[in-house]
Amino acid sequence: MTTKHINGKKVFLTVLIHLFLMSLVLIILLPMCWLIMNSLKTNQEMFRDSIALPATPLFSNWVNAWNKGLYNYFLSSIITSAMSLCGILVFSSLLAYGLTRLNLPGSGLIFVIVLGGMALSEQVALVPLFKIIQAIGLYNTRWAVVLPYISFRIPFTMFLLRSYFLGIPRELEEAAILDGASRFQIFYKIIIPISKPVLASAAIVNLNFVWNEFLFANIFLENRKLMTIPLGLMTFQGDLKSDYVTMLAGILIASLPMIIMYLCMQKQFVRGLTSGAVKG
């Protein structure tokens, strides 16, 4: 096969890959564009032609959605997500560090048991979890959703962090020990700063789960002041009755934090995932 044929084959494959990637981008962007367009219309315009541009963009729909109670759900989601994310990262990083550095007896078994939590479905655990939460008096409190979020996300996060920690040279810790540093000082002064990319990746993945989680919030929460955005939007639809464009505006506002966070942290997200994938 000549060099010309090889180069032509490479060009063809490159074009084919780019076309495939562009089609994926369109599949992702088209629903978002539809959502934005219809959130700026009247209900009559949306039902008449949902794929046409709005005659006059109505940004007041976004204001109406915010004023009709979305800000309460938004604030509740921020508080719940912050508490859950802190718990997930703290416990997972400590567990991953202990399993990779302390050489405790039975650490391999502990790793397998914790990792087995990834196979546990939230739906399967829902009934016993509901009874436990009721028995300890946490039903209809913020902890009723925060604690399950932390528990169900530790296995994956620990697995991701452990893979990254295994690639950190032990010589760094040995030098710190010679300087008189304790294990905890080594953890938060050496390991954590080095692991910022994978921590950013873990934060984005887990925040996406917590921010959009519906099942636990629907079962364990009744107080509207504690409802998160996915649950709030369900009641929002009932409150607004047939005002679909305002509901679409609420969905758009609810999705903005995750989009902005990913755009701001996409480099750390990709670097953290790829580093954790090839180490260990």
Q: Helices marked H in 40-142 — which ranges?
A: 43-48, 60-65, 71-101, 107-115, 122-135
Q: How many other CB atoms are found less than 10 A from the CB of residue 118?
A: 13
Q: What is the DSSP letter of 198?
A: H
CA dist., res. 152 & res. 30, Å (int): 32
CA dist., res. 266 & res. 216, Å (int): 28
Specify if 256 maps to a domain. yes
In this prediction the pTM is 0.81
Is residue 270 very low, low, confident or very high in pLDDT (cuts 50, 70, 90)?
low
Specify if 153 maps to a domain. yes
Specify if 182 maps to a domain. yes
Q: Are 202 and 256 in contact (CB under 8 A)?
A: no
Kindly state the average pLDDT of the residues 107-126: 84
Residue 201 Cα to chain centre, angstroms: 9
Kindly state the average pLDDT of the residues 241-262: 81
Specify if 166 maps to a domain. yes
Kindly state the average pLDDT of the residues 111-122: 84
Specify if 14 maps to a domain. no
Specify if 48 maps to a domain. no
Token code pair at residue 92? 């997972």
Specify if 198 maps to a domain. yes
Q: Name every residue whose Cβ is closer than 8 Å to that of residue 204 and which is 6 or more positions away in sequence.
A: 261, 262, 265, 269
| Between residues 232 and 149, the one the model is more confident about | 149
Specify if 18 maps to a domain. no
CA dist., res. 59 & res. 240, Å (int): 17
Residues 44-66: tens digit of each pLDDT:
888 888 888 888 888 888 888 88
CA dist., res. 97 & res. 13, Å (int): 43
Q: Name every residue whose Cβ is closer than 8 Å to that of residue 155 and which is 6 or more positions away in sequence.
A: 114, 115, 116, 117, 118
Expressed as residue numbers, the domain containing 78 is 61-278
CATH at 113: 1.10.3720.10
Q: How many domains does the chain have?
A: 1
Nearest to 199 by CA among 184, 187, 183: 187
Note the residue count of the chain.
280
CA dist., res. 263 & res. 25, Å (int): 15
Residue 255 has pLDDT above 50, yes or no: yes
| Between residues 179 and 144, the one the model is more confident about | 144
Residue 40, φ and ψ in degrees, nearest 5:
-105, 10
